[in-house]
Amino acid sequence: MEERFDKEGRLIFPKSVTFPAKAKVVVKEKKILITQVYCKNGHNLVRGEEIWNGNRAINLIAKRKKGKVMVSLSPYQGDNRKVMDESMKKGEIVTFLCPECGVELEVFSPCKCGADIVYMYLTEELDARDSICICSRYGCRYSCLTSGGKIVSEFAV
């Protein structure tokens, strides 16, 4: 029987799943790289310096009670690494904003940890069925990737 999860708990990416042609998702050596992702106003959130193995980060603003923090997330699905311009407390819940227009990312669903899972669009068509989702609680590692409304890659703790 074929395994559904790898040793780190990630869903093994099915070979038969395809992404929309306009989605800039690269599947290579069992890793999923996001090279473009958009806020609801159509701004590309993958920007800035190439700090992740020659790839740009997903850049967001994390709004919290004590101000805002610039966050650069790894563009690899399931990779919880991030670079921030200020530290945050583990467990802190934030509101993620587009760094260009300041719009809040939309809520996908509640997370098991009690915070909201928010999403970003994989294509300029802004179809929520093709998205990347992350938890808004600092330290929660949940993330997923959807295509055609189905979760095709998930990292759950």
Token pair 């306009």 is at which residue?
A: 22
pLDDT of 114: 95
At 48, the pLDDT band (50, 70, 90 cuts) reads confident
Mean pLDDT score of the chain, rounded to an integer? 85
CA dihedral 81, 29, 54, 140 (to 10 degrees): -10
Identity of the highest mean pLDDT range in 8-12, 24-28, 85-89: 85-89
Q: What is the mean pLDDT of residues 28-57?
A: 88
pLDDT of 16: 47
Domain boundaries, the chain: 25-155
137 or 24, greater pLDDT: 137
pLDDT in tens, 56-69: 999 999 999 889 99
